[in-house]
Amino acid sequence: MDAKTQSLGEMPPAAAGARPGDGWGSFAWFCVKLLMVVLAFRVFVFSPFSIPSESMLPRLMNGDYLLAAKWPYGISRHSLPFDLALPEGRLLPGAPERGDIVIFKHPVDGRDYIKRVIGLPGDRVAVSGGQVVLNGARVPRVPAAPELVPISENTGCAWGGTAVTTHDGEACRYEAFRETLPNGRSYTVLDFGTTQADSFSERVVPAGSLFVMGDNRDSSLDSRFEASAGEGVGFVSQDLLVGRASIIVWSTDGSADWLKPWTWFSAARWDRIGDTL
């Protein structure tokens, strides 16, 4: 039998040396590597976060799902899944800027909170008549067009708002203002009139801490209130930062029924998905 005839009936050398478990072993190793990549992404790059309240209206709504970038402020134990017990402090720390929307751990109960940075370490911060006073100067705030927030299963018409009917359905009309910080960052805030939170005597932001506020000024428990479980947050230590809110990856009005898959799409707020913050 010549070499050609012999090769037709023999198993190729590579196949002859293969072991039955090689295929499953390769797949298992692939899964391990994939898990490591996902974990690294979760630890060092982005973290998911959902908006549970209306304290950041009108920019963020109940039912928004965000990705928070972790690298801008450094990595701490609060950046890790399950809040693993690592040493205090941050790896490659970075400082937030005024106007950043930050996610952090509540200093008392450890829950995730989201607010906007107003004051940095060393700043003198006060609130007078609902207007922020930063280092002795009033932060410019001018009237803006009223905000119309659609009323849905997870977003009602809070006090200070007026229910109206639009061509898109029921909405809540809020009086709004445009606020501009000294670094030029500008954003819309809601203010419904005189409340207890409209007055805050001047205080200096301690080293390594932040003064944060919600954009929905009369419905936000923030640095204007002393830190207490489920309540205000006081000055927020930068070591409690989880990340900077970066992009809305999903938004739902709360009307979806898990047993009716088509409602997963009809409940989506498509115009909000992909918005950068």
Give dist(CA 10, CA 5) in Å, integer: 10
Return the domain boundaries, the chain: 49-86+95-266
Each residue's pLDDT tens digit, 180-237 = 999 999 999 998 888 888 999 999 999 999 999 999 999 999 999 999 998 999 999 9
* pLDDT tops 60 at residue 16: no
Q: Is 115 noted as a catalytic residue in this protein? A: yes
Q: Is the pLDDT of residue 276 over 60?
A: yes
pLDDT tens profile 143-194: 999 999 999 999 988 788 899 998 888 999 999 999 999 999 999 999 888 8
Higher pLDDT, 255 or 2: 255
Query: Among 55, 220, 246, 251, which one carries the catalytic annotation?
Result: 55
* Radius of gyration, CA atoms only, the chain: 26
Res 14: pLDDT: 46
CB count within 10 Å of CB 234 equals: 19
Catalytic-labelled residue, pool 76, 105, 115, 152? 115
**112-124 residue pLDDT tens:** 999 999 999 999 9
Residue type, 269: R
DSSP for residue 9 = T
Q: Look at the pTM and tell me if it is higher than 0.85.
A: no
- Dihedral sign from CA coordinates of 250, 251, 254, 256: negative
Burial class of residue 173 in the structure, from the number of CB atoms within 10 Å of its CB (0-12 exposed, 13-18 middle, 19+ buried): middle
d(CA 77, CA 169): 44
pLDDT for the residue 15: 45
Q: Does domain 49-86+95-266 have CATH number 3.30.70.940?
A: no
